[in-house]
Structure 1
Amino acid sequence: MKIRVVSSRNEIQELNPGEKVIHLAFRPSNKDIFTLVQRCPDVEVIQLPGSYRRTVSKSIEMFLEMQGIRLIEGDVWGHRKDINEYYTVSPTIKEKINALRDEGKSDSQIIEKLSRETKINEDMLIYILENE
């Protein structure tokens, strides 16, 4: 799975309209969120660092909920935007999920285990589990 990393509001207009998972590495305004949703109508997840997530207005949260877009907290650890505009979630994560499911583990047990072992937060793991 690829996460498109956007490091400034100027990049929003350059996004591929088919993007589904986007990480905003800047503190977005309400206008930035509206512009993003207009530019990328297929977006399913917007991820923000924790400190930025806490500053998002209730009206934007409600707007995204009505659009069926998840707003989650998280980081893209070790990503270098100058090298690649996408952060790739390792395919081994899906392999681990499948192995744990084969062992009979519940989704909550899988999320708990993988969130400890990886640097992927629980909300993103839930999204990956649901879209596996």
Structure 2
Amino acid sequence: MYKCAVIGVLIVVLLHQSILANGKIVYEGNSQIMEGDPINISCTLTIFEPIKWQLNGHNINESGAKTTLSGGATVPSSNLTPAHFNYTVNEAVLENGYVQSVLSIERSDKFVHTGLYRCNTLYNDGFFLTVVDGKERKTAGR
């Protein structure tokens, strides 16, 4: 039994290393939305990777730090908590050792939500979202 357990652990480690060698996190979502629209960004990564959503390098659920917004203003990161940021994260285990995490935000704000989203801090890959002013929607429809 001991020999089988060691082989099983070795296979898991090798599988983990081969997936990491690819270094891919797959992000999906609309890269440009109108202000006020909901945001849905998903990322797919291995089950071995910790999921920790960030916006512009700051943990979305971390409090106490300051976050620089796209307009140059700073706000406490506590504004990025579920109570103020109105977000949810849903995760689902997929086949072949992957997990999908979906960050959903009820209502977008161009000053708060524009920026680089990452679901894992170990990689530089991310998803850049631009929130366009809702006024542009009105002028585009003319």
TM-score by length of 1: 0.21
Which has the larger share of strand?
Answer: 2
Q: Which protein has greater RCO, CA pairs closer than 8 Å, 6+ apart?
A: 2
TM-score by length of 2: 0.20
